[in-house]
Structure 1
Amino acid sequence: MMPLHRPPFFAPVGFGEVPVGAVIPFAGSLDRQDHGTSPIEAWGWMFCDGRVLAIAQYPELFAALGFVYGGSGREFKIPDYRGYFLRGAAAGSSVDPDADQRQPPEGGQGEAQGVGSIQSFALQTHEHIYSSAPAPATPSNTGQAAGAPSATATLTTGGPTSSLQPPGTVKVSASETRPVNVYVNYLIKFTYGLQRLHR
């Protein structure tokens, strides 16, 4: 879809507008119409699905993204955020202790620790304190057997777990570690022109 206006992505925007390249979560449907354009795209937004676009048709978005997410020559790619949690860039701070494990987008020209870089899932080393009952005492022929207190131990991530049973409320996944979550569609702003057309 050809934008009607082609101001640079950093051009001053009016109150209530967002810059080209901005990403938002969208809770609605992205169903396409018969003519091939979704209602969202008619207002200057598109789904972050990693699609390839022509630079000549989307110059504003290319000015914001460049080849960070891939592409070359006359085409570039937009980010593919399907299935991802988003995280603010550390930008030289110490809030991402594993920043050196980040990788640029596959096929892209972004920096390993820059915007668009990807970090795989991880589980931080941690400990759990648990109690284990001792073996039962055997009483002698006469007298009473003294009760033995339970033992307390600490289990560290990666330690033996063969004798432990997880509580029934814990969901175990062999694929990832994740918080409670809900699906949304991430959209990226690709032009100012269409929004101005509908005013």
Structure 2
Amino acid sequence: MLFSCFQEAQAQQKGVPSKPAQATANPTQTPTPPNNMPIGTIVAFAGEFNELNETRLRVAGWLPCDGRALRRSEFKQLFQVIGENFGEGYEEPAPDRGNDTGEKKGDFNVPDFRGRFLRGTDSGTNRDPDAARRTAMRFGGNTGDKVGSVQQESVGPHDHPAESKSSVSPNPHKHRHREPAGGGGSGAPGKQGLEGQSDTSEVSLSVSTTTTVQPNSGKETRPKNINANWIIQFR
């Protein structure tokens, strides 16, 4: 700043007209910054997706990653890079529409990263054991181990602590038997055979076991995280 003022003072002393002051930039517009990012680059954006920010983003060459459908004629460069990886221009069907494809609104879709984590393609490393079962983000999008495919939540093999309790309860009942006659029992002396009856008590045990698995909390399996918006460069 001081060097600029010094140059301007020298120019005035030599009779050279100074440069006119630059007009203040429109605060609602952001000029496209020079960068070497290729078209299709995805970065995190710390602002909200509102009308003002989306205007600034578009002026700078960026679009929200919200799954919107686009026309090839309007976003030719972006289509040349991502094609129909994320869909053929269909809306996301409503949850209660089953296998409905949704309404077609354009020629291709930008990625929809709302509420999703990003994961690198497996590319034969076997780090994604279910890579072959990945599905399309929108109708016509990529499946399997390709850019744009998605996976639903899943919980891998694991153990739960469990408590087991056993209870024992008595079940008393009686057995009847006969004593031999003439053997000093209750029968008459000298008589053969069995006569007389007496009752004895015995106890049997019944065992019941109850196993309780402690419940998990939460509605999904997830790491610690923080919210951000994703944007994609279209030119």
Question: In structure 1, how many angstroms separate the alpha carbons of the residues matched to 2:162 and 2:37?
Answer: 52
Q: Note closer, same or farther for the CA distance 1:135–1:80 as it changes in structure 2 (3 Å cut).
A: same
Residues 1:24 and 2:43 are matched in the alignment: yes
Q: Note closer, same or farther for the CA distance 1:98–1:189 as it changes in structure 2 (3 Å cut).
A: same
In structure 2, the residue matched to 1:172 is: 218
- What 5-or-longer segments of structure 1 have no aligned partner? 1-13, 137-160, 192-199
Check the 8 A contact 1:105/1:117 in 2, yes or no.
Answer: yes
Check the 8 A contact 2:70/2:108 in 1, yes or no.
Answer: yes
In structure 2, the residue matched to 1:122 is: 154
Question: In structure 1, how many angstroms separate the alpha carbons of the residues matched to 2:231 and 2:131?
Answer: 26
Question: In structure 2, how many angstroms separate the alpha carbons of the residues matched to 1:80 and 1:132?
Answer: 46
Residues 1:184 and 2:203 are matched in the alignment: no
> Would you tell me which structure has more strand in proportion to its own residues?
2
Counterparts of residues 107-186 of structure 1 (less than 5 Å)? 107-128=139-160, 163-166=212-215, 171-173=217-219, 176-186=220-230
Q: Secondary structure at the match of 1:62?
A: helix
* Sequence identity percentage: 34
Post-superposition offset of 1:106 = 2.6
Counterparts of residues 48-127 of structure 1 (less than 5 Å)? 48-71=65-88, 75-127=107-159
Deviation track 1:9-40 (CA, whole Å, cap 9, x = no partner) reads: xxxxx8x421111111111222213xx95212
Question: In structure 1, how many angstroms separate the alpha carbons of the residues matched to 2:130 and 2:84?
Answer: 25
- What CA RMSD, in Å, does the superposition of the two structures yield over aligned residues? 2.8
Question: In structure 2, how many angstroms separate the alpha carbons of the residues matched to 1:131 and 1:37?
Answer: 55
Q: Secondary structure at the match of 2:231?
A: strand
Higher relative contact order (CA 8 A, sep 6+): 1
TM-score normalised over the length of structure 1: 0.63
Post-superposition offset of 1:70 = 2.0
Question: In structure 1, how many angstroms separate the alpha carbons of the residues matched to 2:66 and 2:84?
Answer: 15
- What 5-or-longer segments of structure 2 have no aligned partner? 1-33, 90-103, 169-209
**In the alignment, which of 37, 51, 55 is matched to residue 38 of structure 1?**
55
Equivalenced residues, count? 146
Check the 8 A contact 2:63/2:234 in 1, yes or no.
Answer: yes
> Would you tell me which structure has more helix in proportion to its own residues?
2
Check the 8 A contact 1:110/1:117 in 2, yes or no.
Answer: yes
Check the 8 A contact 1:30/1:38 in 2, yes or no.
Answer: no
* 2:87 aligned partner, one-letter code: G
Question: In structure 2, how many angstroms separate the alpha carbons of the residues matched to 1:53 and 1:85?
Answer: 23
Post-superposition offset of 1:181 = 1.7
* 2:212 aligned partner, one-letter code: S
